Amino acid sequence: MLSNDVTAAPCEAMLLTPKARVIAPVVVVRREPDDFLLLTEPGLGEVVRATLVRARFGAKVEIEAEEHRSVIVFGESGDGIPNADYGEPAAELLDIELEPTLSAEDLERLRIEAGTPTWGKEIDDSILPAEAGLDETHVSFTKGCYPGQEPIARLHYRGRPNRRLRVLEVADAKPGDEILLGEKPVGRVTSAIPGRALGYVRREVPDDAVLKIGDAEARLHLPSPRP
């Protein structure tokens, strides 16, 4: 059912429709040989549970909802679930109490600079995983069949997406703004902070292009390397 090889857990994966539209991104954690925890975004837990229940064919498979709180701890650590969303080594720890040292705005800046898509902004049921770069992080091309495998593999081996998620350097922007090359719309902003934005941009736009978002000049910017 999942797009990645769960024998490599902890790993990132997706639950997809047969047409490779994203139902939910998940992180797979193996707690016991026959016990997997699927972590997903707030509000998607019941969607994941219901989708898996509908596909269940083994009478001994139990699928139950759990609720957890998580924190991100930066730095090299052998504890927790590895997290590469912020361009720095980090781990996600469940159900512990820690005083925050970074604000939500600080985390959003790190996420945008790393070019990491998130549900409800860059990821929804209208995007193809390859457009968001999820084929590089959430997909195994050697595992067995899963819903959406054929469109994912066909685009990977025989084509390329018409647009890709890119980091932009721009003084001011807001989600929903059009990205222009000259007078031609070539993309749209999905997330923004002062100085940086994320957005889907047409593949044919050159890396050195001078773009425009609103009244501000914008340029494509390389994301922080994934740790």
pLDDT in tens, 193-202: 999 999 999 9
pLDDT of residue 170: 98
Alpha carbon of residue 51 to chain centroid: 19
pLDDT of residue 35: 94
Same domain, 206 and 183: yes
- Is the Cα torsion angle 110, 187, 207, 22 positive or negative in sign? positive
Domain count, the chain: 2
Q: Give the domain range for residue 213.
A: 163-220
End position of a domain, from candidates 158, 185, 206 = 158
Can you list the alpha helix ranges (DSSP code H) found in 44-197? Answer: 45-55, 104-114, 149-158
Nearest to 42 by CA among 127, 119, 105: 119
Check pLDDT > 70 for residue 58: no
Q: What is the mean pLDDT of residues 66-77?
A: 90
31 CB-near residues (< 8 Å, 6+ apart): 37
Same domain, 105 and 18: yes
Same domain, 12 and 82: yes
pLDDT of residue 128: 95
Higher pLDDT, 133 or 58: 133
Please report, for the domain that includes residue 192, its CATH number. Answer: 2.40.30.110
pLDDT of residue 59: 66
Same domain, 187 and 77: no
Same domain, 127 and 167: no
In a domain, 1, yes or no: no
Check pLDDT > 80 for residue 8: yes
Please report, for the domain that includes residue 74, its CATH number. Answer: 3.30.1360.120
Give the pLDDT band (50/70/90) at residue 92.
very high
Q: How confident is the model over 138-181, as pLDDT tens digits?
A: 999 999 899 999 999 999 999 999 999 999 999 999 999 999 99
CA distances from 211 to 100, 125, 180, 198 (A): 37, 27, 6, 13
Check pLDDT > 90 for residue 225: no
In a domain, 74, yes or no: yes
Structure tokens at 54: 């509908």
Check pLDDT > 80 for residue 63: yes
In a domain, 198, yes or no: yes
